[in-house]
Amino acid sequence: MSAPVPQPFPVLLQRFFVQRLMDQQHVTPCTVAAYRDSFRLLLGFAHRQLRKRPSDLSLEDLNAPFILAFLKHLEVDRHNSIRSRNARFAAIRSFMEYVSFEEPSALALAQSVLAIPMKRFEQPLVGFLSREHIEAILAAPDVHTWTGQRDRVMLTALYNTGARVSELIQMRVSDLTLEPTAWVRIRGKGRKERSVPLWTSTAQELRRWLRQHPRAPEGPLFPGRSGGPLTRIGFTERLKLAVKVAAQHYPELAKRRVFPHLVRHSVAMHMLQSGVDITVIALWLGHESPVTTHRYIEADMEMKDRALKALQAPSCTPARYRPKDDVLRFLQSL
């Protein structure tokens, strides 16, 4: 009995996207797009290095040394951060896991690629804005114009909910409930939904906004001029404009890089400083795990200062430890 013919790489790649990602795992379009872009880069690199078209590539071409060379190309030639490098590699790893089940003859090759570790990187401290700076940014839009009215209520909703930009621009009118209790439904990462309550002032602004500019229930809550959803780039530009106006009263804002996710960080920090439990903050922000939210505790110097004052200084200086043999001295020197 003859051995089965190995499946070509192009067939496996197509089945990986259509069957595994879309049909079986039912991943979001954003995940599909991210994986697609990763393989576009990989196939372009293969074309330059191996002089092969994507349709002519084989699984053997995508061995561990080649994947390592591609990852180095991302960091050195494309100047990708380690985080971006790892994200690209995650798409390749997912494909190789699929290959290990679908094509037994390529199991060794797949395992050699899967053995390549993700790179570690430093986690910078979370930055955030003060309450005064946030209030100045929220008050910056000119409410005498349509875009200013939209920006005012849109930025207020962003700060109230702590939503990601992708979540904010996807909000529909039907996601909003104003009576009897005001709240909004947020569609988060991985198709996870959560409900976030709204302050009375936020609900009043949203009620006024919809009364002045009514739209269909399935329409975007914060549309662009064309009537469609505002884009991520469009929102970022409106935020920059508000920061520029706020910087007239707070010049230090002009020296800071204020981006949408910084507002989200500020929401978490302000809740933490107000005594809100960290598990509640995690639910509010839609974090997969409260461990993610612990980063905000690390950045809260006021909380650390209170802990330091509560801890009494030691009464005497502890004796310094001195290794007794060469092995211990070696370990101590590391």
Active site residues: 164, 189, 261, 264, 287, 296
Other beta carbons less than 10 A from residue 59's beta carbon: 20
The CB-based long-range contact list for 64-67 (8 Å cut-off, 24+ gap) reads 64/109, 64/112, 64/113, 64/115, 64/116, 67/92, 67/113, 67/116
263 and 159 Cβ atoms separated by less than 8 Å: yes
> What is each CA distance from 268 to 262, 272, 277, 281, 284, in whole angstroms?
10, 6, 11, 6, 9
Give the whole-angstrom CA distance, residue 332 versus residue 294. Answer: 31
299's enclosing H/E stretch is helix 290-299
For the chain, state the CA radius of gyration.
26
- The residues near 331 (Cβ < 8 Å, ≥ 6 apart) are 323
Beta strands in the chain (DSSP E): 176-177, 183-187, 193-197
At residue 112, what is the residue type? S
Give the whole-angstrom CA distance, residue 252 versus residue 265. Answer: 18
Give the whole-angstrom CA distance, residue 38 versus residue 89. Answer: 8
Give the whole-angstrom CA distance, residue 30 versus residue 36. Answer: 10
Give the whole-angstrom CA distance, residue 42 versus residue 85. Answer: 12
